[in-house]
Amino acid sequence: MTPERAPRVAMLSVHTSPLDQPGTGDAGGMNVYVLELSRALAARGARVEIFTRATSSDLPETVVLDGTDADGGPLTGDAARQVLLADQVPPLVVPPVLVHHVPAGPFERLDKNDLPGVLCGMAAGVLRSEAARRPGWYDVVHSHYWLSGQVGRLTAERWEVPLVHTAHTLARVKNASLAPGDTPEPTARILGEEELVQAADALVASTPVEAGELVDLYGADPDRVHIVEPGVDLDRFTPGGPAARAEARRALGLPLDRDVVLFAGRVQALKAPDVLVRALGVLAATGRPVPLLVVLGGPSGRSTAVRELQALAAVTGVAEHVRVHPPADRDTLVSWYRAADVVAMPSRSESFGLVAAEAQACGVPVVAAAVGGLRTIVDHRVSGHLVEGHDPAVWADVLAGVLADPACRLRLGAAARTVAERFGWDAAADRMLKVYEVAREARTAPRV
């Protein structure tokens, strides 16, 4: 890898595909991160190949994404292949991003706790990819989440290239903030993360908070921890104004004359949508106006998670105030954000919190738990509110205060877009390319 040539990157996302719909199962912000970062790197000439586990025999072996020729037209067929295999990318050409579905274990979705048993097969499949190119083809391995990191350790060592690892979430952080009754992350994961912290040539943290956690909780070498803030698609997620808000509500079947609080994410204890349902119960019990809570997401961890949330709403006496909708594609998600008065994120932990960045880019204030990356994304009392703890009574007070003050919401919403503009995928890709180069240098330097 030299300054004259953008790198060839093996991007590993083992347990969830970047092509999966975020908001259900294991698909979430990491899916968006991997896909959008890969596209932004490709726009800078990098050849990026994403490897994920095949969960169905019907999936194509390889999916080709994007890519444009020198005239801005789509890059397909033999032309795409020539760009992928060339020593250098021609000027003005954007190489396509490849997504490889690697057979490893049964053709079905597995629980994350079962995936360590298929990692050897996954590593073998990734290693075979170089045989389809030529020795020394890849310049860097970039793994996402600890399961991918285990595969990344093997492939980077075999190819004698640097390993860059992004954790996305950390077991020790999650275990320190578990919801009541939630299952802690297993010891095997903690040990795997400890190994990766020592093995990786560069560790990527999304925020200064996460960087500190890597150092303080895992003993990471501060010199090998690099902060690369994820981006948000600022061209797609934009404010719409009052007219767009009304149009979005009509299209989505939402009332025009009622406050709407939106929760967008997986329905699981970690994301804590139950806190919002209980907060509605507090509002109802104290005689205050109860907003409509829209839960936009599917079950994660337990297939019954959505039904359990609906049962909680019924027991709390607020079932009529809670609507659950399946996850939405990216364009429809813009309409959901614009339709909301407030986006709420009561997560128990968040390494970054992409939903908060997207909502703010749409000019919507965010009420979020003061945890992890949310403390970086949400500017307290400027673009939204940060709430300490998960007491439903406190959440009820904060939500009621924001919803009762239209002028405050307008002010927060206007500032939210400005805050979101700090986060762009172009800047993230530029920074990541520098991390790849630093990792290459670190690999050749002796460890002390």
pLDDT per residue as tens digits for the range 160-192: 999 999 999 999 999 999 988 889 999 999 999
What percentage of the chain has pLDDT greater than the value 90? 83
Residues 125/103, Cβ–Cβ less than 8 Å: yes
Mean pLDDT, residues 308-329 taken together: 97
Residue 360 marked ligand-binding: no
* pLDDT > 50? residue 3: no
Given this model, what pLDDT does residue 4 score?
58
Mean pLDDT, residues 335-339 taken together: 97
Band (447; pLDDT cuts 50, 70, 90): low
Residue 4 marked ligand-binding: no
State how beta strands 62-65 and 97-102 pair.
antiparallel
Residue 218 marked ligand-binding: no
Residue with tokens 């939402």: 254
- Tell me the two tokens of residue 339: 């339709």
- Tell me the two tokens of residue 298: 């599917």
In the chain the domains, ranked by start, together with CATH numbers, are: 8-231+425-444 (3.40.50.2000), 241-420 (3.40.50.2000)
User: What tens digit of pLDDT does each residue of 248-280 get?
Assistant: 999 999 999 999 999 999 999 999 999 999 999
Residue 174 marked ligand-binding: no
Residue 28 marked ligand-binding: yes
Residue 337 marked ligand-binding: yes
What percentage of the chain has pLDDT greater than the value 70? 98
Given this model, what pLDDT does residue 372 score?
93
Given this model, what pLDDT does residue 176 score?
94
* pLDDT > 80? residue 1: no
Given this model, what pLDDT does residue 148 score?
98
Residue 426 marked ligand-binding: no
Band (132; pLDDT cuts 50, 70, 90): confident
Residue with tokens 């400890």: 194
Residue 307 marked ligand-binding: no
Given this model, what pLDDT does residue 369 score?
98
User: What tens digit of pLDDT does each residue of 375-386 get?
Assistant: 999 999 999 999
Band (194; pLDDT cuts 50, 70, 90): very high
Q: pTM for the complete prediction?
A: 0.93
User: What tens digit of pLDDT does each residue of 405-430 get?
Assistant: 999 999 999 999 999 999 999 999 99
Residue 393 marked ligand-binding: no
Residue 128 marked ligand-binding: no
The residue among 27 and 353 whose pLDDT is bigger is 353
* pLDDT > 90? residue 27: no
Residue 311 marked ligand-binding: no
Given this model, what pLDDT does residue 384 score?
97
Residue 55 marked ligand-binding: no
Residue 144 marked ligand-binding: no
Residue 189 marked ligand-binding: yes
Given this model, what pLDDT does residue 2 score?
44
Mean pLDDT, residues 6-14 taken together: 96
Alpha carbons 357 and 350: distance in angstroms, whole number: 12
Name, of 54-58, 87-91, 282-286, the range with top average pLDDT.
282-286
Please, what is the end-to-end C-alpha distance for the chain in angstroms? 24
State how beta strands 202-205 and 8-12 pair.
unpaired
Residue 447 marked ligand-binding: no
Residue 266 marked ligand-binding: yes
Residue 80 to residues 12, 20, 318, Cα–Cα distance (Å): 22, 24, 54
* pLDDT > 70? residue 120: yes
Residue 370 marked ligand-binding: no
DSSP label of 324: E
Given this model, what pLDDT does residue 242 score?
87
Average pLDDT value over all residues in the chain: 94
